[in-house]
Structure 1
Amino acid sequence: MREPTTTAAPGGLNTAPALRRCVGDPDQFAETHWGRRPLLRRDADFTDLLDLAGVDELLSERGLRTPFLRIARDGQIVPAARYTGGGGLGAEIADQVRDDLVLAQLATGATLVLQGLHRVWPPLRDFCLQLGAELGCAVQANAYLTPPAQTGFATHYDTHDVFVMQVAGHKHWRVHEPVHPDPLERQVWGGRADEVKATADGEPALHHVMSPGDLLYLPRGWLHAAAAQEQTSLHITLGLRRPTRYSLVEALLDLAAEHEPLRAGLPLGLDLTDPAQLAPHLADTVVALSEWVAKADPDDVARRLRGTAWPATRPAPVPPVAQLHAAETLNPRSAVARRPGLRCSVARDLERVHIELVDRTVSLPAGCGDAVALLLSGDPVTVADLPGLDEDADRLVLVRRLLREAILVPAN
């Protein structure tokens, strides 16, 4: 089997409980499987994350709207109008999931795809947030409910790695090696449908009937198809959107727009489609780009990458009413902590300390720098213990501001 062009081994593997629950030994997984080849594990239990009763609750009681539910039949997506409708009096929407129409679809062999469960189902929300922190990438959660003896989708590949967790019933998986290793997000399988079909007709690299508690890891690009057996099947798919070297290339190209020689215009009348005319200008451009890239500042590249990496994962929820009450009733004995999953960076100058968030920057007096550093360390901190500020009144002002900015939360 092929080796990856880059190794993305998560840090802190010895204390990675979510990853350990998925793969057993995180260090062995990072060395042998991560981005390289599939992993099959047995005898776990994922029903605390989602079970059949939870699926019923989502479909009938949570007021889901599209696109949180998709339905597929014979490999084709069913139009949403066939299973959605108006929300009733006082709900001016037209695309709310109707449980009776979903029942009719399910009864006639359709597969239900519950999407974005890391946004709407608390157990999966919390698990994905923890797993993403351990892996160093965004994690999304979908669930697939397939009636007996049905195949939801034909053989295909994903452009992100996945953990597949079998929750109920049994499903037969056929896995083939990639036809296009390490595909980027825009390199979807439909553009290689003939190669995918030809490979899928051959002997699989892995075939296995997944039972409740089984987990399958597939790196991006590995072909797969799955068919439910004699019972309704429910499995959770965690999509692992790990960064690639091309992510760095894209950031470098964005930054290249700031380099004047690369913004220079080309001569009048130049035909860019003529290789002979293009060649000298291409050579000059490659030289200018190479010289600029060789001097690229990691700080600038990291700042550019934050624009895509940080919004991909939402931090833990903040209850607005309770959060405001915590700010109003704050006292020196109150304990607070950084909001779980919050992505931010801190910079200081002579006059201010700046907390850079995904959508804004919070600036505070420079004297708050040591207190901010401690507050953002991740460990619970008592207000009275904050360093660098002489008065409890100043400490309270700082912490109230950061509670209202949803940077801190009350420590449990």
Structure 2
Amino acid sequence: MDAPGGFRPALSRCIALDADKFAAAHWGKAPLLSRAGELGRPFTDLLSPAAVDELLSRRGLRTPFLRVAKQGKVLAPNRFTGSGGAGAEIGDQVIDDDVMRLYAEGATLVLQGLHRIWPPLIDFARELGAELRRPLQVNAYLTPPGSQGFSTHYDTHDVFVLQIDGVKRWRIHEPVLADPLEKQAWGGHADEVAATAQGEPALDVVLRPGDALYLPRGWLHSAESQEARSLHVTIGIRALTRYALVEELLTLAAGDARLRATLPFGLDVSDPGAIEPELTETVEALRDWLTRTGPAEVADRLAARDWPAARPAPIAPLAQLDFAAALGTGDSIAVRPGLRWQLAGDGPGHVTLRLTGRTLRFPAYCEAAVRTALAGDGPVRVADLPLDSPEDQLVLARRLLREALVVPA
């Protein structure tokens, strides 16, 4: 969980503990309640009731960026979507008056994917994700007075709950399935969840504006607004588990000929005695193969599945191109925040820059300059790039700008 320099300003808005203490006592283990007085700053800069009004009425919001739930059931999108009118006839756009009517009748509104559509949360999610080194998703829940949008359930990802407006009571119970994977959703344990929810909660708390709550995946929870409406943001943290390592190891195991071998002709798969020798040999082959597999191979596999889940910071395309066209050696550039990259040799004459979904090749003499530009240590003057001439410096800097790897500083 180490962040560059150890400073985690985004995380400090979500927890009232030192990050190391949080990691040791709570991360993936136990809930943590942090009160507004301990955190010292409200969350209305991230989202507010006025922002919700704007999203619902002026942003051309479409499904699936809005869900509507009533009495624990998600309503069909055609209850609150339709055409946007002339020039915007796409039929799944949010109709604000329909949404208002449903909300007034007791429905909960769930604004989804706000880390992609609302600028303050785009920035905050990127900063928090960089500090945790995990992909994040951000939803907001607007619940009418005295209502509960969803019955007791658990999530398969950790969450931070940030109370924005109003008051909400949370009842939290210990897991019925510890550390559930994404494919182990609570619906598969619905009876156990319902029975556990009838017992005494491990935590029964009321969140007020500025309060925050951390819940590890698997912890049961339900939330009910009180005498007024409630608005909170939920930040979901995608888990990285040991099972993910197992999945990637098994994928890599396809490279072992013994593990690809065909089972005997006519094998009765229902007979444990017939299966036993094949299973024994397979386990031995797998054990032998695992001893030959190094962390570098697994790291490459994990990066391939992890990197696409988090986008780098937005760029301003026109301003970026204008800056590149007018670039001088006295100008400065900085790595695009949130960019994932790896640079490695590619034969005697080139280096390859690996990015999310693409690779770029550069002459080998550019390696030090590319590393300098992307290091993230702060703005870099074009004139300070370690290349032999101003012309080379400008050519490389313009390419980095046009490839959206760096931004004007």
Query: TM-score normalised to the size of structure 1?
Result: 0.96
The runs of 5 or more residues in structure 2 that have no matched partner are none
In structure 1, what is the equivalent of residue 11 of structure 2? 19
How much does 1:12 deviate? 4.7
Aligned equivalents of 1:319, 1:92: Cα separation in 2: 28
Query: In 2, distance between residues paired with 1:335 and 1:271?
Result: 69
Could you tell me which runs of 5 or more consecutive residues in structure 1 were left unpaired when the two chains were aligned. Answer: 1-8
The match for 2:290 among 277, 288, 293 is 293
CA contact 2:3–2:130 (8 Å) conserved in 1: no
DSSP 3-state at the match of 2:27: coil
TM-superposition CA deviations, 1:31-50 (whole Å, max 9, x none): 11111100001114111100
Q: Do residues 395 (structure 1) and 393 (structure 2) align?
A: yes
Contact persistence 2:352–2:361 (CA under 8 A): yes
Q: Does the CA contact (< 8 Å) of 1:13 and 1:26 recur in 2? A: no
Tell me, in whole angstroms, the C-alpha distance in 2 between the residues paired with 1:171 and 1:324: 47
For residues 62-211 of structure 1, what are the structure 2 equivalents within 5 Å? 62-211=59-208
CA distance in 2 between partners of 1:366 and 1:353 (Å): 5
Deviations 1:307-331 (A, max 9, x none): 2100110110112111111211111
Map Cα deviations across residues 237-266 of structure 1 (whole Å, 9 max, x no partner).
000113111111111111111222111111
Matched residue SS, 1:88: coil
Residue 33 of structure 2: aligned partner: 40
Distance in structure 1 (CA, Å) of the matches to 2:257 and 2:115: 43
Alpha-carbon distance in 1 for matches of 2:270, 2:84: 55
Matched letter for residue 386 of structure 1: L
Following superposition, the deviation at residue 277 of structure 1 comes to 1.1
Alignment partners' CA distance in 1, 2:105 and 2:272: 58
Q: Structure 2 vs 1, CA of residues 33 and 204 (structure 1 numbering), >3 Å: closer, same or farther? A: same
Structure 1 residue 356 corresponds to structure 2 residue 354: yes
Asked whether the equivalents of residues 13 and 134 of structure 1 are also in contact (C-alpha less than 8 Å), the reply is no
Q: Give the alignment partner of residue 230 of structure 2, picking from 213, 219, 233.
A: 233
Cα deviation, residue 303, structure 1? 1.1
Is this contact kept in 2: 1:333–1:382, CA < 8 A?
Answer: yes
- TM-fit CA distance, 1:13: 7.4
Give the Å deviation of 1:183. 0.1
**Distance in 1 (alpha carbons) for counterparts of 2:265 and 2:367:** 55
SS in 2 for 1:310: helix
1:320 aligns with 2:317: yes
Task: Tell me by how many angstroms 1:151 deviates.
Answer: 0.3
C-alpha distance in structure 1 between counterparts of 2:384 and 2:108, whole Å: 55
1:29 lines up with 2:26 in the alignment: no
Quote the Cα distance in structure 2 between the aligned partners of 1:174 and 1:13: 37
How far apart in 2 are the matches of 1:63 and 1:90?
12
Q: Distance in 1 between matches of 2:322 and 2:138?
A: 32
Distance 2:209 2:61 in 1: 26
Distance 1:268-1:245 versus aligned 2 partners, 3 A rule: same
TM-score (normalizing by structure 2): 0.97
Q: Which amino acid aligns with 1:27?
A: D
* Residue of structure 1 aligned with 2:370, choices 357, 372, 376: 372
Q: Secondary structure at the match of 2:88?
A: coil
Question: 1:164·1:237 contact (CA, 8 Å) conserved in 2?
Answer: yes
Secondary structure at the aligned position of 1:22 is classed as coil
Between stretches 88-97 and 139-148, larger displacement belongs to 88-97
Please state how far the C-alpha of 1:103 moved relative to its aligned partner.
0.6
Q: Which secondary structure does the structure 2 equivalent of 1:87 belong to?
A: coil
Preserved CA contact (<8 Å) 1:151 1:226: yes
Q: Give yes or no for the alignment of 1:306 onto 2:299.
A: no
Residues 1:228 and 1:284: Cα distance change in structure 2 (over 3 Å): same
Give 1:308's aligned amino acid: R
The code of the aligned residue for 1:55 comes to V
Among 304, 310, 335, the residue aligned to 2:332: 335
Shift in Å, 1:217:
0.3
Letter in 1 for 2:384: D
- Residue aligning to 1:222: 219
CA RMSD of superposed structures (Å): 1.0
Instruction: Give me the whole-angstrom Cα distance separating, in 1, the residues matched to 2:130 and 2:397.
Output: 25
| Cα distance in 2 between the residues matched to 1:98 and 1:365 | 53
Q: SS state of the match for residue 279, structure 1?
A: helix
How far apart are 1:336 and its partner, in Å?
0.6
Per the alignment, in what secondary structure is the counterpart of residue 309 of structure 2? coil
Say whether 1:345 aligns with 2:337.
no
Tell me the equivalent position of 2:382: 383
- C-alpha displacement of 1:92: 3.5
CA distance in 2, matches of 1:49, 1:11: 22
- List per-residue Cα deviations over 1:139-162 (Å, max 9, x = no partner): 111000000000000000000000
Paired residues of 2:328 and 2:394 also in contact (CA < 8 A) = yes
Q: Is the 8 Å Cα contact of residues 179 and 218 (structure 2) preserved in structure 1?
A: yes
Q: Distance in 1 between matches of 2:270 and 2:344?
A: 47
Q: Which amino acid aligns with 1:15?
A: F
Report the AA paired with residue 382 of structure 1.
Answer: R
Aligned position for 1:3: none
**Farther-moved stretch of structure 1 (177-186 vs 340-349):** 340-349
CA positional deviation for 1:281? 0.6
Give distance in 1, aligned partners of 2:4 and 2:340: 18
- State the distance in 2 between where 1:132 and 1:242 align: 12
Q: 1:11 Cα shift?
A: 4.1
